[in-house]
Amino acid sequence: MNKIGLASDHAGFELKEFVKTYVEQTGYTYKDFGAFSSESCDYPDFAHPLAEAVESGEMDLGIALCGTGNGISMTLNKHQGIRAAICWNNDISQATRTHNDANILVLPARFINPEEAKEIIHIFLNTPFEGGRHQRRIEKIPRKQ
């Protein structure tokens, strides 16, 4: 795993710029799906392309940001192959990988600082999924038609 997709809205733009630098420093490559400035914009415009890239395997994982993390997370999770998780501390970041096999980390940009984001990302990228009983639960997430 070394390809990370990034997306944000205007509220997450500044922290996303910091995240880009950190992701590069840790040896990952990234693709920025936007936003490309702090000018007001709509998070679904960037969340949907990120989700599609993770679903298709173009990106291994994703990191998404908006003010609270809620709006972009709701949009990402509309995609059947996405398990986007809002993480605001290290314990939640670890649990969402070990128990939920989250494939997109969502950061609440207005509620964490760059150092907290760095720690949360490090844990997310370096924590494996436990499988076992958790795998059974993951398999029940997609809605049967």
All domains of the chain, ordered by start, with CATH? 3-139 (3.40.1400.10)
Q: What is the pLDDT of residue 132?
A: 87
**Average pLDDT taken over every residue of the chain:** 95
131: left (phi over 0), alpha (psi -120 to 50) or beta: left
Residue 79: active-site member: no
| pLDDT tens per residue across span 45-83 | 999 999 999 999 999 999 999 999 999 999 999 999 999
Task: Please say if the pLDDT value at position 107 is more than 90.
Answer: yes
Phi and psi, residue 140, nearest 5°: -90, -5
User: Exactly one of 66, 79, 122, 134 is catalytic; which is it?
Assistant: 66
Interior/surface letters 89-126, b for 16+ CB within 10 angstroms, e for the rest: eeebbbbbbebbbbbbbbbbbeebeeebbbebbebbbe
Active site residue 122: no
Residues paired with 82 in a beta bridge:
none
Average pLDDT rounded to a whole number, residues 87-115: 97
Cα-based distances in Å from 36 to 67, 101, 137: 15, 29, 36
The residue from 10, 99, 122, 134 that is catalytic is 99
Q: What is the pTM of this model?
A: 0.95
Per-residue confidence (pLDDT) for residue 136, from 0 to 100? 84
